[in-house]
Amino acid sequence: MNKKIYSILAVVVSLMLAGCNDDFLERPPLDQLTDANFWQTEQHVRDAANAGYSGLIGKDVVNMGEGLGDNVMWYQLTSWRQIGSGLYGSDLSLLNTRWNGCYSEIRKANYFLENYNRATSVPVEKRERYAAEVKFHRAYQYWLLTSFFGDVPLVTKTLTMNSEELYAPRDPRSKVVDFILEDLENSYQYLPAFIEPASGEFGRITQAAQLALLARIAMQNNRFDVAERAAKRIIDMNKHSLYSTGNPDQDYFDLFTFSGRASRNSKNREVILAYIYNYDLGNAGTRHNLSRELQVPDQEVRFQPTRALIDDYLCIDGLPFNRSPLADSSSYAGIFANRDPRLKQSVMYPGALWFGGYDGDHDQPLNVFHYPKFTNDKKGAVSLTGFYCRKYVEPTKVPVYNQDDNDIVLIRYGEVLLTYAEAMFEQGKLTQQVVDQTINLLRDRVGMKRMNLAEIVANGLDVKTELHRERRVELFLEGQRWFDIVRWKEGARLGAVVKGIKRSWAFRPAELSNRKVDSYNNIIFDDSRVFSDPKNYLFSLPYTQMERNPNLKPNNPGWE
């Protein structure tokens, strides 16, 4: 599907721009697509709707949602990592880029919604299907804008250079959220209930995708009853299920590799929406570089898991690592022993298949991982926290550059189950039956001890903490972490010192003799991060936008 999206994007954008020019009202050439003759066929409407799919940004959801958070650290100071650290100003270029990018996508959506009914030869139900897709895309962009900037201008029509709305003040976040939730609620029924995985249509918006986005936005804005109802409707559709072949040691890992990708695997009914890449289309192919970035064989890896992430995985007895008698912190291999099986399917462990070149133990076979590497001699993958991602690594794509066309999962059924459980908890309605129908299905897939609410209380643990832990573990590296931290008001995590392995766990501890460590000999990756409440719960408004439209001021709290 993506090949078609990119082929028509330039046409649609040119029509939008041309529609802003009074000269365009002159008679159009009959042999060219123009605004006057474009809206004639179903293909025209479909192509215009396709233009919105590029706004889902694909692999960049990982850069964004994880780069801002505390699960992984980018190897250098990228703009996303800088924002996550709290150390930036309103002139940071990414702020303006993200603002412009979202409103550019919103403009495309508004243009479509103003014009699609001109295609009178197309049946109404088909027109409304594509309009519902476009409303999804518009809502997605407003979800990003309100999550990042809070109050933002609500623009629902195509603006020109002379539009007064260009200088309008910001609308309250609650008003924007009300608008997009209503938009999604009122349009989802026009979408297909389900699209078969591995089919030519897979990757388009469905009812479940629309409802899942509605639930996600509702959760981000503490509308727990709305989120509950949306998630429950997806569950009751009985169209989606967790991906499982009966192999608990492999299925969760395979869900994010070529083996399980839903665009090719007809048995994967878990993925509700994915950004699909097609490297095999030759010059028209699309691809990313995520697998190589996670284990790049001759440099420092791009996403380095943090010690805080590793420590959050439970032991197999269901107790936290710092409470369980099964915990082993005596060695690098020990920290992976007796843990939630999702740890080994998400993070590299000693004995795992490895394509990252030499590791920290040069004398061992190159295709098996043993120890982390800290010296960048261009002969193997380096991680300065001592941990490497395994999830999302397609092994065949690690040795090559920019040839990865693995699906990027945007929404999946596992998230819906977690959302439903959390929404029920926040309303005081969480029961063991709900836990068994949601979280324990996720745990059953990997053979992890089931969550028992009575045991959590008996062990002196907190149910909310365990729900948050479950979401962190299950959705690791899927671009949700920063959004979750913000909505939970756990911003202190973003200002915490970022740590890695104990120095003694390295194969050659002397390699770390110059590294800063804490009082327990855990190496310190970054101790410069800050978080100020309420300042860092929202981004600063972009300086450029405030200069262009002073009515956007005042800036967000703490950024004045």
Alpha-carbon distance 404 to 391, whole Å? 14
- Spatial neighbors of 332 by CB under 8 A, at least 6 apart, are 350, 371, 372, 386, 501, 505, 506
Residue type, 240: H
Q: Does a structural domain hold residue 36?
A: yes
State the pLDDT at residue 32.
56
pLDDT at 267 over 90: yes
Instruction: For residue 371, give the nearest of 525, 523, 509 by alpha carbon.
Output: 509
Residue 21: what pLDDT? Answer: 42
With both helix axes pointing from N to C terminus, report the angle between 93-115 and 42-50 in degrees, rounded to the nearest 10.
160
pLDDT at 463 over 80: yes
Note the pLDDT of residue 9: 47
What mean pLDDT is reported for the chain? 93
Q: Is the pLDDT of residue 458 over 80?
A: yes
The span from the CA of 275 to the CA of 408, in Å, is 5
Beta strands (DSSP E) in 306-349 are none
Question: At residue 23, does pLDDT exceed 70?
Answer: no
**201 located within any domain:** yes
Of the candidates 373, 343, 387, the residue with the CA atom closest to the CA atom of residue 498: 387
Flag whether pLDDT at 445 surpasses 60: yes
Whether 293 is in a domain gets the answer no
Listing DSSP states for 501-514 in one string gives EEGGGSSSGGGGTT
Confidence of residue 365 (pLDDT cuts 50, 70, 90): confident
pLDDT in tens, 86-143: 999 999 999 999 999 999 999 999 999 999 999 999 999 999 999 999 999 999 999 9
Per-residue confidence band for 33, with pLDDT thresholds at 50, 70 and 90: low
pLDDT digits 0-9 by tens, 184-222: 999 999 999 999 999 999 999 999 999 999 999 999 999
Question: Over the stretch 44-72, which tens digit does the pLDDT of each residue have?
Answer: 999 999 999 999 999 999 999 999 999 99
* pLDDT above 90: residue 20: no
| pLDDT-based confidence at residue 1 (cuts at 50, 70, 90) | low
Residues in the chain: 560
Here the CATH number for the domain that contains residue 190 is 1.25.40.390
Q: Model confidence at 30, in pLDDT bands (50, 70, 90)? A: very low
pLDDT at 98: 97
Looking at residue 16, its pLDDT comes to: 52
Give CA 154 to chain center in angstroms: 24
pTM of the model: 0.94
- Name the nearest CA neighbour of 194 among 276, 271, 275, 138: 271
Is residue 289 included in any domain, yes or no? no
pLDDT at 5: 45
Considering the chain, what percentage of its residues have pLDDT values greater than 90?
A: 89
Say if 131 falls within a structural domain.
yes
Confidence of residue 28 (pLDDT cuts 50, 70, 90): very low
481 is a domain residue: no
Question: What pLDDT digit, counting tens, does each position of 500-530 carry?
Answer: 999 999 999 999 999 999 999 999 999 999 9
313-350 residues labelled b (16+ CB within 10 A) or e (exposed): bbbbebbbbeebeebeeeebeebbbbbbbbbbbbbbbb
pLDDT tops 60 at residue 29: no
Q: Is the pLDDT of residue 263 over 60?
A: yes
265 within some domain: yes
Confidence at residue 3, expressed as pLDDT on a 0 to 100 scale: 42
**CB neighbours (10 Å) of residue 520?**
9
Give the end-to-end CA distance of the chain in Å, rounded to a whole number.
45
Q: Which of 521, 482, 522, 528 has the alpha carbon at shortest distance from 499?
A: 522
User: Could you give the number of structural domains in the chain?
Assistant: 1
Locate tokens 């293909």: which residue?
43
Is 90 exceeded by the pLDDT of residue 11? no
Digit-coded pLDDT (tens) for 281-307: 877 789 999 999 999 999 999 999 999
Digit-coded pLDDT (tens) for 110-125 = 999 999 999 999 999 9
The pLDDT score that the predictor gives to residue 280 is 82
**269 pLDDT higher than 50:** yes
Residues 336-358, mean pLDDT to the nearest whole number = 97
Tokens encoding 26? 């002159």
pLDDT > 70? residue 25: no
Residue 4 is predicted with a pLDDT of: 43
Domain interval for residue 187 = 2-59+96-270
Rounded CA-CA distance 375/507 in Å is 12
Residue pointed to by tokens 């388009």: 204
- Residue at 388 is within a domain: no
Q: Token pair 């003759």 is at which residue? A: 37
**Residue 439 in this model has a pLDDT that exceeds 80:** yes
Torsion sign (Cα): 448, 453, 457, 461? positive
